[in-house]
Amino acid sequence: MKMKWMALVLGTSLALAACGGNDGASDKEPAGESSETTTAGAGDAAKIYENKCSSCHAVNLEGGVGPNLTKVGAKLTKADIEKVIANGQGAMPKEIIKGKEASMVAEWLAEHK
């Protein structure tokens, strides 16, 4: 019985972690930038992607549950990618990333050609 309980808890934890989580910070951002974008640098978009998207698209962009994004910039513009992030597509839920973070990730992905 303990093994079944542990498997249930572990499975639930993994499923919730794969969804990216939401600490509520992006829902009610102050008038300025969110805490994740105040230290803007070259690796921020990649870090946001890793935290929010890699569970489905893989850290190396090669896909898994979600499609391969290694050459997404050759197919979609930054604006197109932002629309997919905002509206979702297929099994991807909408607004996994919002605001400036979504724009940063879209720009970063658009460079992958």
CA distance 22 to 4: 28
Q: Give the Cα separation of 73 and 26 in Å (integer).
A: 26
Express each pLDDT in 47-96 by its tens digit. Answer: 999 999 999 999 999 999 999 999 999 999 999 999 999 999 999 999 99
Do residues 53 and 19 touch, judged by C-beta distance below 8 A?
Answer: no
pTM score, whole prediction: 0.64
